Amino acid sequence: MNRKNTKAFTLAEVLITLGIIGVVAAMTIPVLVQKHQEQENIVKLKKFYSTFSQAIEHAKVDYGEMSEWSDNEDKIAASVDWVHILKQYLNITKECTTTGDFSCFADNHATLSGAEDNWKRVGNWANVCGISNFVMSDGTAVRLAVYSPTCTYQNSEGHTTVCGLVSVDLNGYKKPNVQGKDSFGFLLLKDKLIPFGTPAHRGSIEKAQETLQSIMDKTGSGDNGAGWIITNGNMDYLHCDDLSWTGKTKCKK
């Protein structure tokens, strides 16, 4: 057999090709991993919102309005009573309802800008509310903060039946522990749970847009991303700065 005309790649050509493949992989794999993680978090947050909202509705049938769930005026005691009721309708694997036990929820979250998130620190929360934490079967860590056992607290957005707040970390102690990435907030009213950042939470479209802009600019609380995710099904506020509650809902149309 005549092998004189047989063509083959030289070692240099092979190395160049492998180098190009390596560069492309280094550029694309992190993006794909990030998109996959974001999609997982979107699904998980929506699931939590649905599951927790349903638990509230079931508990209301059996125990009445949330304002009737505890006879304790003490906020901490009331938060424990509420968890004991809600756990009948939620798959809770660990409770931290003992005073001083905050092992269910990481206390070292950060903002989107990288600064320490003081808002979630136990010391700050404990000054104004009763806190009970628990972990669900899928690893979601939940912090239930009771502002008013009778659900009569009035906040700056004009809500007059505020019971408290619910903060979630979708993967518990695992990183990144960052607002707007794996950590989100909800307003707990007498009759329902409202995701942070929505017009219903902020009181108007205009205020919701201001809040959204602050998330995109990384100057505001990423916890408010909960409403955008549940409403629009994406975390694109992490990738562009021109989203709108009345217009553009994705970075790329």
Model pLDDT for residues 200-234, shown as the tens digit of each residue: 999 999 999 999 999 999 999 899 999 999 999 99
Q: Where is 28: in which H helix or E strand?
A: helix 11-63
30-70 confidence digits (pLDDT tens): 665 668 789 999 999 999 999 999 999 999 999 999 999 99
87-109 confidence digits (pLDDT tens): 999 999 999 988 777 789 888 88
- Band (pLDDT 50/70/90 cuts) for residue 137 is very high
Phi, psi at residue 118, to the nearest 5°? -65, -25
Q: Yes or no: say if 52 and 87 are a contact pair by the CB < 8 Å rule.
A: no
Residue-range domain boundaries for the chain = 28-238
Q: Would you state the pLDDT for residue 134?
A: 95
3-class SS string, 218-246: CCCCHHHHHHHHHHHCCCHHHCCCCCCCC
Q: Would you state the pLDDT for residue 216?
A: 97
SS3 category, 179: strand
